[in-house]
């Protein structure tokens, strides 16, 4: 939501692509969350609903401060952009705990390749866009994201061969299937 707010004409003019792509992502995320809230456990629904309320309140505070204290495109872009950079880097850095686990266990079973590849490609695409438009906020957040995504891919390549292969028996046990043994 912050990136959408950042790209709106009163904050950062000529950022239609930022608004449309992040708007589409928000709609898809809301659909996903709706399904989750519909079918999830009550305790999870309460937690997610609380987090969503906190997010909306936070965005409202940022918007209120933005409208109240900043009156030029440059100052508004810098103010909202700073929040976007912080949360963008946090999003890309969130797999660092998993990367630590990969190094410790010498296994990539907890770090799915498609997710690592998607993070890297997303960072590359947005970094390229930022370089073309020379948008420093998008460049910083996604440049760091591209580097962190590349580190994930290198780590994946380094530890792929040392990851233990799951047998059909252990895979079935991991999926909760009952194993019958001959006595």
pLDDT tens sequence across 13-35: 888 889 999 999 999 999 999 99
Q: Are residues 37 and 114 in the same domain?
A: no
Q: Which of 138, 13, 151, 143 has its CA nearest to residue 95?
A: 151
Compute how many other C-beta atoms are within 10 angstroms of the C-beta atom of residue 10. 10
183 within domain boundaries: no
pTM of the model: 0.77
Tens-digit pLDDT profile for residues 78-111: 999 999 999 999 988 888 888 888 888 888 888 8
177 within domain boundaries: no
Q: Are residues 136 and 69 in the same domain?
A: no
| pLDDT at residue 183 tops 70 | no
179 within domain boundaries: no
Tens-digit pLDDT profile for residues 106-160: 888 888 888 889 999 999 999 999 999 998 999 999 999 999 999 989 988 888 8
152 within domain boundaries: yes
Q: Are residues 110 and 157 in the same domain?
A: yes
Domain ends where: 18, 49, 84? 84
Q: Are residues 54 and 100 in the same domain?
A: no
Helix orientation angle between 136-159 and 73-93, rounded to the nearest 10 degrees? 10
Q: Measured in whole angstroms, how far is the alpha carbon of residue 178 from the centre of its chain? A: 36
182 within domain boundaries: no
Q: What pLDDT shows up at residue 182?
A: 43
Q: Are residues 19 and 43 in the same domain?
A: yes
Q: What pLDDT shows up at residue 168?
A: 47
55 within domain boundaries: yes
Q: Are residues 80 and 103 in the same domain?
A: no
Q: Are 87 and 73 in contact (CB under 8 A)?
A: no
Q: Are residues 72 and 112 in the same domain?
A: no
Q: Which of 148, 82, 83, 77 has its CA nearest to residue 116?
A: 148
DSSP type of residue 167: P
Domain ends where: 84, 119, 147? 84
- How far apart CA 146 and CA 92 sit, in angstroms, is 8
Domain ends where: 44, 64, 84? 84
Q: Are residues 31 and 103 in the same domain?
A: no
Tens-digit pLDDT profile for residues 148-175: 999 989 988 888 888 777 644 444 444 4
For residue 79, give its domain range. 1-84
| pLDDT at residue 67 tops 60 | yes
What sign does the dihedral 172-173-178-181 (CA atoms) show?
positive
Q: Are residues 70 and 3 in the same domain?
A: yes
Q: What pLDDT shows up at residue 169?
A: 42
| pLDDT at residue 177 tops 50 | no
Total tally of structural domains belonging to the chain: 2
DSSP type of residue 135: -
Q: Are residues 59 and 106 in the same domain?
A: no
Q: Are residues 76 and 103 in the same domain?
A: no
Q: Which of 145, 144, 159, 149 has its CA nearest to residue 108?
A: 159
Q: Are 144 and 85 in contact (CB under 8 A)?
A: no
Q: Are residues 9 and 56 in the same domain?
A: yes
């Amino acid at each position: 939501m912050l990136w959408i707010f950042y790209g709106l004409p009163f904050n950062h003019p000529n950022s239609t692509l930022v608004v449309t792509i992040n708007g589409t992502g928000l709609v898809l995320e809301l659909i996903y969350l709706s399904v989750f809230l519909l079918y999830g456990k009550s305790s999870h629904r309460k937690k997610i609903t609380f987090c969503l309320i906190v997010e909306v309140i936070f965005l409202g505070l940022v918007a209120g401060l933005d409208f109240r204290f900043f009156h030029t495109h440059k100052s508004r872009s810098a103010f909202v952009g700073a929040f976007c950079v912080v949360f963008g880097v946090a999003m890309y850095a969130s797999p660092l705990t998993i990367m630590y686990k990969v190094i410790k266990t010498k296994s990539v079973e907890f770090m799915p390749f498609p997710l690592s590849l998607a993070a890297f490609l997303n960072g590359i695409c947005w970094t390229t866009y930022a370089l073309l438009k020379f948008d420093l906020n998008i460049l910083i957040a996604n440049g760091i994201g591209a580097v962190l995504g590349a580190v994930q891919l290198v780590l994946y390549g380094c530890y792929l061969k040392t990851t233990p292969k799951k047998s059909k028996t252990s895979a079935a046990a991991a999926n909760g299937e009952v194993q019958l043994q001959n006595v």
